[in-house]
Amino acid sequence: NEKEVTCIGCGIAIQTENKEGIGYAPPSSLEKEQVICQRCFRLKHYNEVQDVALTDDDFLKILNGLGKVDALIVKIVDIVDFNGSFLHGLHRFVGNNPVLLIGNKSDILPKSLNPNKLINWMKQEAKELGLKPVDVLLSSAEKGHHIQEALAAIELHRKGRDVYIVGCTNVGKSTFINRIIKEVTGEGDVITTSHFPGTTLDMIEIPLDDGQAIIDTPGIINRDQMAHVVNKKDLKYVMARKEMKPVIFQLNEEQTLFAGGLARFDYLKGGRKSFTCYFSNDLEIHRTKLEKADDLYERHLGDLLSPPRIEDLESFPELVRHEFSIKDEKMDVVFSGLGWITVNQPGVKIAAYAPKGVSVLVRKSLI
């Protein structure tokens, strides 16, 4: 057995097999005297944080570590995928540490959505999921909106302690951290360390003026996210990049909408009614008759109804049907991580379909 090579930046064991994994360095780098992992390399040279894939074991190590420190926990979620990116169960591990909840990607919300209403909804939803955050904020890491506000809230709630940033992959955690690095250090040097003693998790520290630090924990993969069921090249269809533009449909009973091949919405009963779709503007919505829907999906998944791509059909999960009666309020039918359809007039029965593992839920309309 060869001696274990470790990264001079973060101390992690170097591996050369899995490019997306922790501690990756290209094989050629092993010939050098000092080896640096790809993640530290990028950080050092570009001040840029990169995602690494985590195993469930690593995830547990992070969670257990969070309970042992005295710190402010900043939990970032994707507001379009609140439930899918929530990291259920985190609150059981954080001990008495306060949690600041940030809903990222606010820039893609339709302008007609009132931010305060959304924040209230997030508070309520978090409470139902067992978390009582000290505060709830929105941000757009990509556009740099509300970053100062987030930093002010962090400063207020950390009370001189360290800050741990946690989040599921794809919520924009790296983008957020990169923004913070610029704000806090003015592009200065960032130190990397392995923070929890006895673990090999690479964490990134952004030093603060009082000797404390903001610590970025690795992104946690939730395999049930919509983003994981499509080809990486097709992410723009799943994750909106720009403000979602509402598309209104007047539907008769027994009509079906397909959002690409990723979601299906059957309007079953309730007379002629209006429905508003909020998805990535790149994703095409197709309307058809309910009686033709199964056949259309079978024949045209991968071409007319895409994503997925033809070449990915084999690994694409089957759609699972969820039926809902919407009785007396305007409601949103949410396809986790993809978008939602607002049922504008109650008194209807519908069925919503999403790939197996991806959740569908109904909430009071936010608009």
CB of 349 to ligand GDP, least distance (A): 34
In this complex, which beta carbon is closest to ligand GDP, that of residue 35 or of residue 171?
171
In this complex, which beta carbon is closest to ligand GDP, that of residue 105 or of residue 195?
105
DSSP 134: S
Binding to ligand GDP (CB under 6 A) within 208-267 occurs at 219, 239, 241
Nearest to 78 by CA among 70, 68, 86: 86
CB of 243 to ligand GDP, least distance (A): 9
- Judged by CB under 6 A, the residue of 100, 163, 171, 263 near ligand GDP is 171
User: Applying CB under 6 A, what is the total number of residues that bind ligand GDP?
Assistant: 19
Q: Is 58 in the site for ligand GDP (CB under 6 A)?
A: no
Q: Is 140 in the site for ligand GDP (CB under 6 A)?
A: yes
| Contacting residues for 306 by C-beta, under 8 A, at least 6 apart | 234, 260, 261
Element (H, E) at 74: strand 71-78
CB of 166 to ligand GDP, least distance (A): 10
In this complex, which beta carbon is closest to ligand GDP, that of residue 171 or of residue 277?
171
Distance CA 185, CA 163 (A): 15
Contact segment (CB under 6 A) with ligand GDP among 28-36, 100-108, 252-260, 264-272 equals: 100-108
Contact segment (CB under 6 A) with ligand GDP among 24-32, 165-173, 324-332, 339-347 equals: 165-173
Write down the H helix ranges in the chain: 38-46, 56-68, 90-93, 115-128, 147-158, 173-185, 235-238, 290-300
Write down the number of H helices and E strands in the chain. 8, 17
Q: Is 75 in the site for ligand GDP (CB under 6 A)?
A: no
Q: Is 84 in the site for ligand GDP (CB under 6 A)?
A: no
- Judged by CB under 6 A, the residue of 142, 183, 284, 312 near ligand GDP is 142
Distance CA 62, CA 342 (A): 37
In this complex, which beta carbon is closest to ligand GDP, that of residue 228 or of residue 264?
228
Element (H, E) at 324: strand 319-326
Q: Is 104 in the site for ligand GDP (CB under 6 A)?
A: yes
**Are 50 and 78 in contact, with CB atoms under 8 Å apart?**
no
Q: Which residues pair with 305 in a beta bridge?
A: 301
In this complex, which beta carbon is closest to ligand GDP, that of residue 85 or of residue 255?
85
- Judged by CB under 6 A, the residue of 66, 74, 141, 226 near ligand GDP is 141
| Contacting residues for 109 by C-beta, under 8 A, at least 6 apart | 79, 80, 115, 118, 243, 244
**Are 8 and 34 in contact, with CB atoms under 8 Å apart?**
yes
Distance CA 247, CA 110 (A): 11
Contact segment (CB under 6 A) with ligand GDP among 135-143, 187-195, 305-313, 348-356 equals: 135-143
Which residues would be at the binding site for ligand GDP (CB under 6 A)? 51, 104-105, 107-108, 140-142, 167, 169-175, 219, 239, 241
